Structure 1
Amino acid sequence: MVNINAHQLGLLIDKTVGLIGGEYTVPLNGIRLDVDATHLYAVASDRYTLAVARYRLLHDDQGGQPFARLIPGEYLPSLREWISSQAGSTYISVSAADHYVEFGGTHTELRIGVEPDLAYPDWRGLLRTITEHTVDGEPFPALSASFMSRWAATGDNLRVRVTADKQAVLVFGEDFIGAQMPVRFAGVGPMKDETFDAVRRQWDKTLAAGADGLDMATDMTAEDDWPRHEVTKDVYETGEELLQQVLRSNVDVHNTPGRTTSPEFLAHITAAVHGWMAYRFLDALHTADPRFARAVVAEVADQLDSGEIGEFAWDAAKEAGHDPQKWHDEYEAHLKKREAEKAAAGAPAA
């Protein structure tokens, strides 16, 4: 068990909650509370970003039993609301059992169910590798987080160029260029260290426990229960894949034996037609509202990664006023009729 100021616990959650993974990536859909001998960490990642906020434990807590548990995303609003109900200066106890994490306040307690054996990336090793790739002596400007959030409105994948220390950082996007000035006080930490090497040393003991040579591009997706094929969330890449699907299916149509009669022929025709329809719809949507098109592509990518599109389609059909059960029954009857016709055609003559 560890103790933390209620205000500080709320701050840990606020700093990391915006970076948690989606509901279809269960191992990352939440904030991981990780305790070692000196700190309580809040860790969040969506596989593309990784954030860690920490709180130095009270002297009496240091040397306690380490633990790490993922607080599921669905419970984070309730936890944050409960923390807000405590006086900011109140100390909250945090303890972990096999299947729950318990938060103890002055008058109330909150218990949240967790999966104790849920795999999580080696965040210490990942960040350790990244910090070791950076060479001291390069520009190390401090950027205001509130200003950085303003670039989200561009909707682009932005390239960043650090020009010189205490000088503007350049930002490039699709038909877009911008710059952001660093803040006046560039220091980090209680001693206001200004060099990268000095700031990195603040985390040396924490990150030393991580493995060597990890890479976010590969080691964030190594778990077997994570998506094996990552669907792109980029509009242009999605359009490219759709057009490739149309052209590949068109080739398969002409190369299929028993054209016009085989199920493979009909499958390739369907894939080509639906691929072309999807591309035209996406192109029209992107022309009319690029921002909305990006949001739709990202949402669809998450749904495809989840592997539950059959359930989504069933629910969408019902919401649109259709009868998916009737469709299912009619298609089952069609398959049975086709099988009966095949059997009759293959039976020997009387």
Structure 2
Amino acid sequence: MPVTITAHQLGRLIDRTISNMDGEFTAVLHGIRLEADAEWLYAVASDRYTVAAARYRHDGLEGEPFARTLPAGAVRALQEWTSAQPGHSPVTVTAEGGRVRVTAAHSDLGIAVDPSADFFDWRGVLRGVIEQTSVPGNVFPVLNTRLLERFGAAGPLVRVRATADQNAVLIAGQDFLGALMPVRVRGMDSDGLGTLDQTQAAWQDTLSTGGTATMPDNIPARQHRPRHEITKDLAETAGDLLKQTLRSTHDALASTTSDEAFAAYATASVTAWRAYRYLDALHTADPRLAATIVAETAEELDSGEISEFAWEAARKAGHDPAAWSQELEDRLANALTSAPGQPAQEAAVNTSEAGSTT
């Protein structure tokens, strides 16, 4: 009953749910539940106060669906194992009897499990949280901030829905669904904060001196990042590359000044598009590695030493950057001996070609 997924995806399933495991004194919840159906591989964990379910669409399931609970100790080992694999590397997860085996190209890990171990109906619990309706009135739930921290790895952005004082709070993100039970504290209403009206009354003296506003006019708007600073944000980097592609393509088609300008715009457009496609593929295979590379590249660009970095990278890759440099100088020298009106154009075109090649 093997299922195939990338090492990054399996690692993220563990990362997003490991904080929600219960302690050793609740054996049935002291671990992470792995379940596979015809479309998804799920990881589910709960400590009775929180529920976290993450999923990734797998690359194929052979045989019947399976469900096994990985013991907490093995979960830590699996987390370390996946982090040691290339993020894009295919990983096969097989559950047979009392053993779950994860296999990569050059490594595998076997985990002993109890195939008869019960697990709660997490689908029914989360369905109940989604389907609960808002209760009339202005009561709102009391949440334990320490339990909120357990959803820190759910994703950079999540949606939250609270329906009533004693109802679980729904937490939803991309391929992630969670629930957080409210705290039932005896005498909580005695602090005067049991309802929205009570909270408003408690703060009325402080807040009544100001008018209702979304943002005071005297607070400066967010400043744009200086043009000379390179973003370390992956999404912003991808957007910059697409913007550069579109602008350079437009400028190339609209250029009527010279062949040099057309060649420069065309080279910038092609280079930006290639960079975007490579970044998008890397993000699909291993988002964590993509974010790391974007941040490291931003620091390299800010250092102003990319020529030295490129020279060293070319040398380590087995190329001869000195020969490239000499070839470019020879082309420029030949351009100077060309017919009048041709040197600048030929030099620019050859420079563009040399740049696109390297």
Q: TM-score, with normalisation over the residues of structure 2?
A: 0.39
